[in-house]
Structure 1
């Protein structure tokens, strides 16, 4: 019966989502850099010729990782269209794990060697592996793109829940506090205890091997659904002229939205198939499938690109420096690591929440709400943390995480709905390429402004970034064929 076949389809879809979550849990380990940076920087200061290095310098490792991510995500999207999700995913995943593994050797050499392994190699591999799982899962559940993106990137977000405590328990099992500080910046603290530093290199060895094993099982669960020949004609040139045209009428269900599953023989089966598969149609789709070599001519593409650039720039600062900021008032390494883990739960849950918001309401409204909440939380973080103590700091970091996480589920969903599911891998890769700029710009701001304007000044700057994203999003006016916001 068709009903059982339909149920089988759903079961397979959730299997693919599980594979994507496993992959992204390892790729999301980059978000533990805010926890690792105190150990990495302290080790480099004490055990290598880089004795003058500071947190603002090692932030460049994370920013290089982000830059390489942005540069190679488009490559992953293009390769996914040509060779499928499994080969692309395992290549990128194991390259990323190799970068982590090699950091065992590089951290014992120099800061620049760590830039090469944890920044460059880890970043390139992660970027290649980022998109295939998202695209594969959206093919199975096209009507729930927001939920799918939220669940898989939620794995990215909750990675710190898993890896932060493992890293801290392994490197600093006795919960020793940083015992070294700078004369010119007494609140900037580092570890000098041999009991902590001795364990830093081998942590990367263990992480690299563990990631590779988890990634192998995740990739095994990725497989594309069977695809029919198109049942409807391509849209006319007039249809493709403007994404914001809204003339009433039904959406043009093309480009694979209706054509995901094969129809069996028999009139009754076909009728049931039509009714059940109608539920698999994304009603928020524009009805267009715009290829990568044309998408850059759309104003909406550049709005998404700019929004991604601005919001991720703020995310990079929070994820890389939340612990360094916390150390200025909290003298408990376990608590700061716990903050990273708990906030990661909100980060992962936030991606699912914002993805569901996009499915129920619209990309524009959801993004405006995300940016508005970030502005409020950033402007109040310093005063709340210093007046309310460590638990107030924990609450605000969690609220910031649940707010900022929306970027990674809202924008891929908007990309698929605005420009079509057919080329979503390559198109979202182009949107994600904004991160090529995020890294260098973030490094410049971190190294030149942190000392000059202080922590509160940095939070004001980040809030200004989100205000810019809020204003840009107001200009996003992509409609479905029924004239509603996507």
Structure 2
């Protein structure tokens, strides 16, 4: 008979609050245009270096430190530490003024490290609380990360969505005359406080606890998460490398769009004859509303879909649709409807990665081990975060120097084709098989 335990949905609420703050990294596009102007005068590639270093630091700290630490110390202390470190990174950027290296250190390296420490904690904790709803719950656990970008972008610009002005005449923090550095200071304080509050309910269920009325699947079910692999056992399987490579392709596509949507959208719309002020509002809406909103929805919807179709087929469908949209986006972004549609669907598919890959890792390599195994899979996100944004930034700089902005094509078409390759990999993938457990060690079939 199970004793009284806390309501598991409280852990969901805490996890979403944490992720809303961590998702601020996806609000980076709110700053890129200002960073390319006075007094910063960064080039486009420099703006993407800060973003890419943040993504890489996020993935590396999650893989090398957070996964093992939370398994030993519990998710609460690790998530709380992540919030403090993330906040510190933004405070460092505030004191760095216009220094590229100071901002790279603060928001890139330190801020990314804080995200990496906190990010896995809600996922690992909630998979243990909800073994009966892995797809849905991993989607909910990370939905805040996608929705967070909407909040942090719109706080800088005002909650203006085309003709709809939810914040009235308030033009956001920038409209009030706040500098980029002042916004970073405010955000740093908020991140440390809010992540700390969400961390208070990051507590694992009691040993042996399971949801009422739920029967664990037999260990012979190779795609149920009943068979637990250690990190060493996992990384020698072709399934690990298949998941890793597919995640690299999906991450590179989505993160490139996040990093350059302001710059690409402005270039595309102004080339179509739309004035710069109108284009600026449209690109802010594309990222701050359509991409961010559908990114969050994609995490929930793709996760739920995968509970019915299976994780493998859901990843295949998601990658095919993403490949089509990445290529199409280059051609339709010169129209506002095309910019909004592309941002929405690319954000929707990109968000799905963060529900499907942790759930697939749990399915293939064990529910109990997801906290230590998924950070290794998530390193793919860091690799994609370097490839995608830097490719976009370099193609933009190349176009600016040559006067031919068609160079954007060579950012979008290759990343779209890579998504198709990821779909093919997943079509060919089958769950790793285990024959039996002898002497406490899982034996290969």
Q: Do both proteins adopt the same fold according to a TM-score greater than 0.5, normalized to the shorter chain?
A: yes
What is the alpha-carbon distance in structure 2 between the residues aligned to residue 415 and residue 216 of structure 1?
27
Cα distance, 1:197 vs structure 2: 7.5
Distance, in Å, in 2 between the alignment partners of 1:378 and 1:298 is 30
Write the deviation string for residues 203-222 of structure 1: whole angstroms up to 9, x where unpaired. Answer: 11111111122112101121
Q: Give a deviation string over 1:450-469, Cα, whole Å, max 9, x none.
A: 42661223211111121221
Tell me what 2:75 maps to. Answer: 85
Separation (CA, whole Å) in 1 of partners of 2:225 and 2:383: 29
CA shift, 1:195, in A, is 7.6
Contact 2:44–2:394 under 8 Å retained in 1: no
Q: Which moved more, 1:116-125 or 1:431-440?
A: 431-440
- The yes-or-no answer on 1:61 pairing with 2:50 is yes
Normalised TM-score (structure 1): 0.78
Q: Tell me, in whole angstroms, the C-alpha distance in 1 between the residues paired with 2:389 and 2:302.
A: 29
Which of 172, 180, 185 is equivalent to 1:205? 185
Do the aligned residues in 2 keep the contact of 1:142 with 1:280 (CA within 8 Å)? Answer: no
* Deviation per residue, 1:120-145 (Å, 9 max, x gap): 00011111111011111111110111
Structure 2: how far apart are the matches of 1:280 and 1:105? 53
Are residue 348 (structure 1) and residue 340 (structure 2) matched? no
Question: 1:409 — aligned with what?
Answer: 355
Q: Deviations over 1:408-427 (max 9, x none)?
A: 11000000111001211110
Cα deviation, residue 374, structure 1: 0.9
Specify whether residues 281 and 148 from structure 1 end up closer, same or farther in structure 2 by C-alpha distance, changes over 3 A only.
Answer: farther
Return 84-93 or 436-445, whichever deviates more: 436-445
**After superposition, where does 1:459-474 map in structure 2 within 5 Å?**
459-474=412-427
2:199 is matched with: 219
Q: 1: CA distance between counterparts of 2:26 and 2:218?
A: 34
Specify which of 221, 246, 262 is matched with residue 323 of structure 1: 262
Distance 2:392 2:369 in 1: 36
Match of 1:300 in 2: 239
Name the CA distance, whole Å, in 1 between partners of 2:318 and 2:15.
25
1:22 counterpart = 2:17: yes
Contact 1:286 1:479 (8 Å CA) reproduced: no
1:376 corresponds to 2:313: no
Q: Flag structure 2 segments of 5+ consecutive residues without an equivalent.
A: 160-168, 400-405, 435-445
Secondary structure of the corresponding residue to residue 430 of structure 2: coil
By how many angstroms is 1:162 displaced?
Answer: 1.1
Aligned to 2:127: 138
SS in structure 2 at match of 1:278: coil
Matches within 5 A, 1:71-110: 71-74=60-63, 75-106=65-96, 108-110=97-99
Distance (Å, rounded) in 2 between the aligned partners of 1:433 and 1:402: 21
| Matching of residue 338 in structure 1 with residue 285 in structure 2 | yes
Give per-residue Cα distances to partners, 1:340-399, cap 9 Å, x unaligned. Answer: 22221111011101101111111111011101111211222232232xx21331122111
1:277 matched residue in structure 2: 214
Distance 2:303 2:34 in 1: 34
Please say if residues 252 and 386 of structure 2, whose CA atoms lie closer than 8 Å, have aligned partners that are also in contact.
Answer: no
- The change in CA–CA distance for 1:440 and 1:160 in structure 2 (over 3 A counts) is closer
| C-alpha contact (below 8 Å) 2:251/2:385 kept by paired residues | no
Please tell me whether the aligned partners of residues 85 and 136 of structure 1 are also in contact (alpha carbons under 8 angstroms): yes
CA distance in 1, matches of 2:431, 2:175: 57
1:290 aligns to what?
229
CA distance in 2, matches of 1:300, 1:155: 28
CA distance in 2, matches of 1:87, 1:465: 38
Distance 1:99 1:118 in 2: 5
Structure 1 vs Structure 2 CA RMSD: 2.7
Question: 2:163 — aligned with what?
Answer: none
TM-score, L = length of structure 2: 0.85
Report whether the alignment pairs 1:397 with 2:386. Answer: no
CA offset digits 1:19-41 (Å, max 9, x no partner): 01000000001000122211233
1:127-166 mapped onto 2 (5 Å cutoff) = 127-166=116-155
Q: Is the 8 A contact 1:39 1:197 kept in 2?
A: no
The 4+ residue runs of structure 1 with deviation greater than 4 A are: 173-176, 194-198, 279-284
Structure 1 or 2, whichever has the larger Rg, is 1
